[in-house]
Amino acid sequence: MPTHQSLSGASDDELLQRMVATHPERFGEAYWTLFDAHVAPHLPPRAVMIDLGCGPGLLLRDFGMRSPDATLYGYDVTPAMIAHGRALSYAGAKPTFALHDVTTQPLPHAPGSVHLVSMSSVLHVLDEPWPVLAEIRRVLVPGGIFLLHDWIRQPLATYLAWRRDVLGESERGRGFRLFPVHNKYTTEDWQWLLAEAGFAISYHELLRASHRTFVARPGEP
């Protein structure tokens, strides 16, 4: 599958360090306010949760602190990310991490066995999202939640200004390379994509100018 490294030209370690440094901004108060209002009340105490494309494991660490009796799984295609997640200290539930490419292999979970699948800033890079969405739908319990947090389309000037002012990039080459990747889908595109894949959106919110979060559930087969 395509990776952020192959698209941006960053090394595994460069992306890892950037994800660690920006985690508090990407998953700040607004994200957890949404989670507590629209996700947490619908999860059982011993929920099974997957973070698909888990990166350095920090979001799973946060899930575990909020749901200490949950069973957590993190899957990623980059060994450095999995190694970082395994090395973290956990005050709550400790996740199981594994290298896994969901575009080529099914998830190692039985149908209808998972209560929450989270996917953050990953689905937009896939050339073909349908099989992955079908696999997510397969493993979710009836009424389970797919929590999608991903890029939405912005004007070019806004996007390049963000890379300059927030990321501190002085050279525009990377921004131009990534613009068509990060700005692939509008909100309406995501809504259509999820509906076509058999999901019903119960809530969505623009948490940052660049990202919208969708709370979706599998519809009737």
Q: Is residue 23 part of a domain?
A: yes
How many domains is the chain built from?
A: 1
- According to DSSP H, which parts of 166-200 are helical? 173-182, 187-196
For residue 24, count other CB atoms closer than 10 A to its CB.
10
Q: Is residue 168 part of a domain?
A: no
Comparing C-alpha atoms, which of 216, 209, 221, 179 is closest to residue 25?
Answer: 209
Buried-state track 83-107, b at ≥16 Cβ within 10 A, e below 16: ebbeeeeeebbbbebeebebeeeeb
Q: Is residue 175 part of a domain?
A: no
15: containing domain = 4-151+185-218
* pLDDT on residue 90: 87
Q: Are 137 and 198 spatial neighbours (Cβ–Cβ below 8 Å)?
A: yes
Q: Is residue 143 part of a domain?
A: yes
Asked whether the predicted pLDDT for residue 170 surpasses 90, the reply is no
Q: Which residues pair with 212 in a beta bridge?
A: 150, 206
Q: Which residues pair with 140 in a beta bridge?
A: 114
Q: Is residue 117 part of a domain?
A: yes
Q: Is residue 15 part of a domain?
A: yes
Residue 73: give its domain's CATH number: 3.40.50.150
Percent helix, percent strand, percent coil in the chain, to nearest 5 = 45, 25, 35
Buried-state track 118-143, b at ≥16 Cβ within 10 A, e below 16: bbbbbbbbbeebeebbebbbbbbbee
- In a 3-state reduction of DSSP, which class is residue 197? coil
CA dist., res. 172 & res. 129, Å (int): 29
Q: Is residue 28 part of a domain?
A: yes
Q: Are 185 and 125 spatial neighbours (Cβ–Cβ below 8 Å)?
A: no
Confidence of residue 209 (pLDDT cuts 50, 70, 90): confident
Amino acid at 185: Y
* pLDDT on residue 169: 85
Q: Are 117 and 145 spatial neighbours (Cβ–Cβ below 8 Å)?
A: yes
Q: Is residue 163 part of a domain?
A: no
Model pTM score: 0.92
pLDDT digits (tens, 9 = 90+) for 41-99: 999 999 999 999 999 999 999 999 999 999 999 999 999 999 999 999 888 889 999 99
* pLDDT on residue 2: 54
Q: What is the mean pLDDT of the chain?
A: 92
CA dist., res. 71 & res. 95, Å (int): 7
Asked whether the predicted pLDDT for residue 176 surpasses 70, the reply is yes
